[in-house]
Amino acid sequence: MRIDWWTLAFQTVNVLVLVWLLSRFLFKPVSKIMTERQQAAAALIQDASTARDAAERDRKQAAEQTAALDAFRLQRLGEITTEAELLKTSLVATARTEAAAIRAAAANEIALLRKKAAREDAARATGFAAEIASRLLSRLPPRALVEGFIGPLAHAVSELPNEVRQQLGEQSDPLHLLAPRPLSDDELAQCRAALADALGHETPLQIEANPILIAGLELVAPHVIVRNSFRHDLETLKAELLSHDHE
């Protein structure tokens, strides 16, 4: 086999020229295009990665905000529940206090009404008893309204402490002797004698008629009063009635 070196040389030159042309007008532009596209793709990938990271950050931030909102909502719900419980407790306590105050006021009002009714009943009973006593005693002799009370009055005076009886004897002003009617000379003499015996000495007396006594005598001094009359008995009865009602 014979090799044509000139033909081989021309073919080699053609190949080299073709390779040079391809590398200059084809490979470099294609390589440049491929490089540019790779760079564009890398940029797109980088942008996508950046966008993905930003989206992930936004998602996490949104999740954190949602969690924070949920936590705040739960906190406020708890606070509102606590406030509602406190308000409920306060309202219940206030209602109970007001109810207790109303009950106490009602009880006080009832007690006052009872006391008022008791006083009125006692006053009516006392007045009724005084009227009965006056009517009954009006049938007795006038001396009976005084004579039977002279001795008990003198005895009550004699039962006073010594210093009190001494004061009664030392005072310059006359003692006031209250009677249901003006005393006769004989009744006045009996009173003076009985009181002088009780005090141990005579003492001036000023007689005052007071029909309110109904019957009996009362000795009035600046610091002591000795009572022995129907009026005093009726007042004692009234006080006992009121005391019994309070029990």
Please give the chain's pLDDT, 247 residues, in tens. 555 667 767 777 777 776 766 666 666 666 777 777 778 777 777 877 787 788 788 888 888 888 888 888 888 888 888 888 888 888 888 888 888 888 888 788 877 777 776 666 666 665 655 566 555 555 556 677 788 888 888 898 888 888 888 777 666 678 888 988 898 889 989 998 998 888 887 888 888 998 888 888 898 888 888 888 878 877 877 777 666 555 5
pTM of this structure: 0.46
Residues sharing a CB contact under 8 Å with residue 177, sequence separation 6 or more, in sequence order: 183, 191, 205, 206, 207, 208, 217, 218, 219, 220
Q: What is the pLDDT of residue 245?
A: 55
Q: Which phi and psi angles does 229 have, rounded to 5°?
A: -145, 165
pLDDT at 81: 83
Residues forming a β-bridge with 179:
209
Q: C-alpha distances in angstroms, 81 versus 68, 72, 86, 157?
A: 19, 14, 9, 79
Beta bridge partners of 206: 176
Q: How far apart are CA 76 and CA 88, in angstroms?
A: 18
Neighbours of 113 (CB within 10 A): 10
Residue 211 to residue 138: CA distance in whole angstroms: 12
Contact predicate 209/180, CB 8 Å? yes
Alpha helices in the chain (DSSP H): 5-22, 28-137, 147-158, 162-170, 185-199, 230-246
Give the three-class secondary structure for 211: helix
Predicted pLDDT at 26: 61
- How far, in Å, CA of 129 to CA of 135, rounded? 10
User: In order of start, what are the domains of the chain with their CATH numbers?
Assistant: 143-246 (3.30.360)
